[in-house]
Amino acid sequence: ADGAFIDAVSDLVDIISAFDIYVDERCKKVINGEYINGFIEDDMVKSIFRYDVITAFDIFEHFYEPMVAIRNCTTLLEKDGVIFGETGNASAVAKPHAWWYVHLIEHHIFWTESAFQFLARHAGLSLEMFHLNAHKERRYMSPIKRLAALSLHQIRNSKQLSDLVFSFTSVDPRMIGNPYAKDHVMFILKKVNQDGL
């Protein structure tokens, strides 16, 4: 994205690279490694480096072909390297089809702990951490904003109230998640098989 995260951790690492479907000039300014441009599912993901850590915050829900994407990620990892990231946790919601996260058009796939275990088993990885938490935008909300979000979330099933709120504010209550829900997961996948897939 814009490079804010990698800029924040730049003092901790020697080489910082980026991988995205487009080149963001703000991100380009904070890397000292390579900028790989393309889809992670592309057949020939090429890199001049192997990495100890790949971060994937809000990335896994965008995969079209998760096994291909993970195979390509593992080829970018050093032995014992890790993929550290965050994504939605579909098993944390009672009605996944009504989950706000599913209704974002750019989200294609939704994960559970058993899906991560399956992925790890078939990709030469081990699931080292699976920590439930709230979406990053909700973790740091002020108490007033959290109360407003909860109020909007509670009226999401009333078409009349939702339409009324939308007409005055352009905010669709159906797209507001419960600000207290732990409907996301922070995960670490570690490369354990040098050959990967």
Cβ atoms of 131 and 186 within 8 Å: the answer is yes
pLDDT digits (tens, 9 = 90+) for 74-100: 999 999 999 999 999 999 888 888 888
Structure tokens at 93: 């919601």
The structure tokens 């909300």 sit at 141
Cβ atoms of 121 and 193 within 8 Å: the answer is no
Residue 195's pLDDT band (cuts 50, 70, 90): low
Cβ atoms of 128 and 197 within 8 Å: the answer is no
Rg for the chain, CA atoms, rounded:
19
Residue 26's pLDDT band (cuts 50, 70, 90): very high
> Rounded to the nearest 5 degrees, what angle is found at the Cα of 104, between the Cα atoms of 6 and 74?
45
Mean pLDDT in the chain? 91
Instruction: Give the per-residue pLDDT at 98.
Output: 83
Structure tokens at 143: 């108490």
Whether the per-residue pLDDT at 177 is higher than 90: the answer is no
What gap in Å lies between CA 178 and CA 151, rounded to an integer? 9
What gap in Å lies between CA 183 and CA 106, rounded to an integer? 18
Percent of the chain with pLDDT over 70: 97
Query: Minimal CA–CA distance to 44: which of 18, 13, 76?
Result: 76
Whether the per-residue pLDDT at 196 is higher than 80: the answer is no
The 3-class secondary structure across 50-97, one letter per residue, is CEEEEEEECCHHHCCCHHHHHHHHHHHEEEEEEEEEEEEEHHHCCCHH
What gap in Å lies between CA 178 and CA 197, rounded to an integer? 38
User: Maximum distance among all alpha carbons in the chain?
Assistant: 56
Residue 170's pLDDT band (cuts 50, 70, 90): very high
pLDDT digits (tens, 9 = 90+) for 99-156: 889 989 999 999 999 999 999 999 999 999 999 999 888 888 999 999 999 999 999 8
Whether the per-residue pLDDT at 197 is higher than 60: the answer is no
Whether the per-residue pLDDT at 194 is higher than 90: the answer is no
Query: Does the global pTM surpass 0.75?
Result: yes
Instruction: Give the per-residue pLDDT at 150.
Output: 93
> Rounded to the nearest 5 degrees, what angle is found at the Cα of 119, between the Cα atoms of 86 and 93?
50
